[in-house]
Chains A and B, each alone.
Chain A
Amino acid sequence: MPPFVLIASTFALGIIISELNRGRWVWAAVAGAAIFLAAGIWYYQRGKRYSFIWLPLCLLCLGYAWMGIHSVSFPQQLNPFLGHFVQVEGAVANLPSVYPNRLVFVLEEPVVSLDKERWQGNEKLEVVYYFIAAEEAVDESASSQQTGTAGSTSSSVDNRTTGSNNKLVITGAGGTEIEAEHLRSKLLPGDAVRVEGFLELTETALSPGEFDYRAYLERRGIIAQVQGKGIPEVMSQRQGLSSVWAGLRLRIENSINTTLPRDESFFLQEILLGSKEGMTPDDRDIYQRTGVMHLFAVSGLHLGFVFAALIAAAGFLGLRRIPTFFMVTVGIWGYAALIDFTPPVTRAAVMVTFGLAAYLWQQRKNSMNFLALAALVLLLINPSLLFDPGFQLSFTATWGIIYLAISLNRHIPLPAGIREAITVPLAAQLAILPLIATYFNQVAILGLLANILVVPLAGFVVYLGVVGMLLAAAAPALFNPFFLAAGALSIPIKGLLGILAELPGAAFFVPPPPLWLYLLWFGILLLFGWALREGFTVSFPHFRFRSAATSWVMPSLLVLTLCLILICTGIWRGSSGQLEVTFLNVGQGDSILVRTPAGRTMLVDAGGSPAYLNTSFDPGRQVVVPALARAGIKELDLVVNSHPHEDHLGGIPAVLDNIKVGRYVAPPIEHVTPQALQVQQLLEEKEIPVNYIHSGAEIKLDPAVKISVLGPPETLFSGTRSDTNNNSLILHIAYGEVSFLLTGDVEREGMLDLTERMQKGRTAMEISADILKCPHHGSSYSICPEFAAAVRPRIVVVSVGNNNFGHPSTETIYFWQEQGAQVLRTDQEGNITLATDGAELSVAN
């Protein structure tokens, strides 16, 4: 085993243990490291045989201690400042990023002040300035206080985009305006600035498997967010290497922007500079479905071209060893600095640097050793990176390429060069498969094909782009032919990827594999790679020699295929044999997933963001579809829409688009909105049968589970406060002795009517339930003592998020608590799963 592989992996193991027990024994670990080191030296000097085993133990302790020292958490002293309008002074850490709805940058060494209170620390703060569209801000000024669940939040009345020519503008206190792009070029790294705004904690994941933005920021030393108001004030500018570099990046971006139209310019910036600001959710979907997301993380592919160009230049100039090394290294690390030393680019830079040294000084090049060394370097700088998806993906993919691709090459009878175009993506895709399943809940089946087709093209884009960047750095001319050519190439690339992503079965959703499947997968990959590398047969005239590894090729390939099937189908989960009802945390809105003991599935609503909020947050795409994937659901037997309001219907198009749906059920309500029409169109397109049902109907999903429709009544409500709400579908789900009542947004009138109908016994129905979905997100219109007396729930679930309607009303919460029910809220608990075997009930989230 190459030395750094041992060193880095034991160090990483120490980091994992530290994370698992929250680094409680840092000083014990330091002492342990010292003792193990001393023991190692002592035994070594005595010439004992196994003195080397002390070194990994020492490194394990060091990893533990390093993680314990470096882990960042929210300082208690900052607690009193939270939620207040504070002033923050600090140094800009990076070039601000401009997203379609916000400008974001990081402040180092912040000084937070609130009146006379001050807090100063080494932790970093993220500063966000939101823009909102001007017209909507006027129309719906009351509704601008909204916070979604995925970080795309908006909460500003000061900052807005003015409608003219679509420029993003931040407005200061005195009505002065500054354009976002202009502000960006003024906030260079190292500058001391003062910002004002609300200090907030960022979104954290409430349910397992969700993206945890707070943890993501904490891994980068960022502890909280300032929602900036007004215009940041630059107090002093500092000229340093980082500001020069930021200037260079701005110059390159500027050159790309002036040369290319908007879409092509974004694409080129994504691929050359790794910027994600211009990537639309649709683009992201396409890249994920085709498994080419790695192209947008600047790494080995990019540095390879820089390396080749610089080596050629050094050869042309006739440079000797040391000047060549110097020139190439400066070029490589300069590029890495341009993209802010992300884990993939730093990994590649370390590997290229040592690879170059090995080449120039005629040493054996051991890529695995360099890979491990790069991991060690990054983990020493920031041990938390070990838990960063970008870090994990980059290192695992590279490991796959080094370990598997060469072995695969031996068995593929194609000329070198063409062979690598297949084996390298194959090896990388195999290695990262379980990680992709965990982080993106997807397996890109056509990923291999897409990579084989697109990577060479992308390589060409990078090649042209690198030359273009050099030109832009040297002479910031307005027109850059290299960028133009590279931008033109983006059109076939995006077209090709678009076609591949649309192919049926290009990718499908999978649940995250469990730990044992991870261990099995990588164990088998190790065995398979070894068997491929060392397996061979030599024929003598009288017998055939088969190396020991040969006999493992087929068995390991078989188990590998089996694991692949397990990961792709998720059948390792088995069936729980229970009725599971999950209230998904879709923010303000409803989405309830029902899974019967026989494994049949029904989704009631899919959340949705009201159009007036002008947010890109789509709970259907961002919450419901991933949650279905994590649950291993590829097909919904039934999708129910309780009523056609945006916060119930809005996510349904994303569900219909991504998941196979057997049948669609809705109440017979006329409601003509663009969204309703979109759903209508999708249902027709996908030929999904639709039923409009009302009270008296029964849904036959699973013989063991009785689902009766209690509302709306046959003659629909009209003239109530909200007819659409009162005409919501009401479902009663009974399994054994446990029952659920799902009520949509029904209000007082509907609840009274339901209670009366039950009491008069006109229809034989049961409305008492153990678990009640609180009607209408806990609004004050949904208090009805008669209804409560008839239902008598043990648990009331309120599906609610940030909103301006005052949901849930405190009154309602008190009301249900007084009735003796336990109240659970999705905005506090995240996803809430209630599982029952027909007798016992368990709650999990």
Chain B
Amino acid sequence: MLTDVRSAMKGLFFPQEQGCPICGRRGSQRHICQICLEEWAELADGFLPCAKCGRFKKAEAGETTCQECRENEPPYAIARCVAPYDGSLRDALHSFKFSGRRELAYPLGELIASLVASLFPYRLLAAVIPVPLHENRLQERGFNQALLLAEVVNRMLRIPLVPNALIRSRETHSQTSLSREQRHSNLKGAFEAGEDALPLQGKAVLLADDVYTTGATVQECSKALINAGVKEIYVAALAAGILTSP
């Protein structure tokens, strides 16, 4: 009882400000603070995104695209990410996805929206489509992180959200322990376009995800959408891996 009164008094006279959702610094309330963002911008220092898949590669290389994209061109138009999947951005994504901090969706989604607004012709996009999560995984986690991010993009840029344009048709193994080739085969035919994708025929859409690692998921999704008649696909994610090969 006494401690209740004490903490109530403390809250009344010396209230805690929420602060930055990542680092807790004061001054910024619902948004990621400047300092955290500068840290993430620094992660990308010295790298340039591949012109196609958006993964980060050493800036000095002559080619604009990465070797992988040159050998095997992905079916989507362009993919872009905010920063390399590293450091405190990786921590932030982990606490968003695995520690259930759903409230991070808004400040992180803002970043994707800003990325889309500055790099893609976003006014032409007919839909924002989240990469779907399988039913079992959804029950385990409670939410689809890509959907939450897509919702923010929808709200900020007024691109219609079409959450069921893609459907996961079969359960797949967790991707984390698999190599690049294994991932591709693991996902083969795992996605198909839903009925909601019908009106999107001949249009350009945005595919939203949290992390772009090997690109297997996004490529499979893109194939499914193209098969359903979608004309052009733009991909936006929060983080991407760093390419070691040129």
Contact = CB atoms under 8 A, between A and B. Distances in A.
Given A373-B13, A542-B48, A533 B27 contact: yes
Interface string B87-119: 000000000000000000000001100110011
B48 A369 contact: no
A3 interface: yes
Contact of A538 (B37, B48, B80): B37
Nearest to A1: B15
A354 B13 CA distance: 8
A4 B14 contact: no
Instruction: With a 10 A CB-CB cut-off, give which of A2, A533, A540 has the most chain B CB atoms.
Output: A540
B196 interface: no
B12 A364 contact: no
Interface residues of B, number: 32
A363 interface: yes
A281 to B, nearest CB: 44
B37 A369 contact: no
Given A541-B45, A547-B31, A3 B114 contact: no
Interface in A523-541: 533-534, 536, 538-541
Nearest to B27: A533
Contacts of A548: 31, 110
Contacts of B62: none
Nearest to B34: A536
B12 to A, nearest CB: 5
B13 A369 contact: yes
B105 to A, nearest CB: 15
Interface residues of A, number: 26
Contacts of A365: 14
Interface string A548-574: 100000000000000000000000000
Interface string B168-191: 000000000000000000000000
Contacts of B14: 358, 363-366, 369
A534 B15 contact: no
A651 B31 CA distance: 60
B41 interface: yes
A760 to B, nearest CB: 84
Given A363-B10, A540-B83, A3 B31 contact: no
B139 interface: no
A365 B17 CA distance: 10
Nearest to A542: B49
A543 B48 contact: no
A254 to B, nearest CB: 41
Instruction: With a 10 A CB-CB cut-off, give which of B15, B41, B118 has the most chain A CB atoms.
Output: B15
A544 interface: yes
A619 to B, nearest CB: 51
A546 B47 contact: no
Given A3-B11, A369-B15, A548-B31, A541 B48 contact: yes
B15 A2 contact: yes
Nearest to B26: A364
B46 to A, nearest CB: 8
A373 B14 CA distance: 11
A545 interface: yes
Contact of B12 (A4, A358, A541): A4
A3 B15 contact: yes
Given A354-B13, A363-B13, A548-B110, 9 more contacts: A4-B12, A358-B14, A364-B14, A373-B13, A533-B27, A542-B44, A542-B49, A542-B80, A545-B114
9 contacts: A3-B12, A357-B13, A358-B14, A363-B13, A538-B38, A540-B40, A540-B82, A541-B47, A544-B118
* For the complex of A and B, 3 pairs with smallest distance between CB atoms: A363-B14, A538-B37, A536-B34
Interface of B: 10-17, 27-29, 31, 34, 37-38, 40-41, 44-45, 47-49, 59, 80, 82-83, 110-111, 114-115, 118-119
Interface of A: 2-4, 354, 357-358, 363-366, 369, 373, 533-534, 536, 538-548
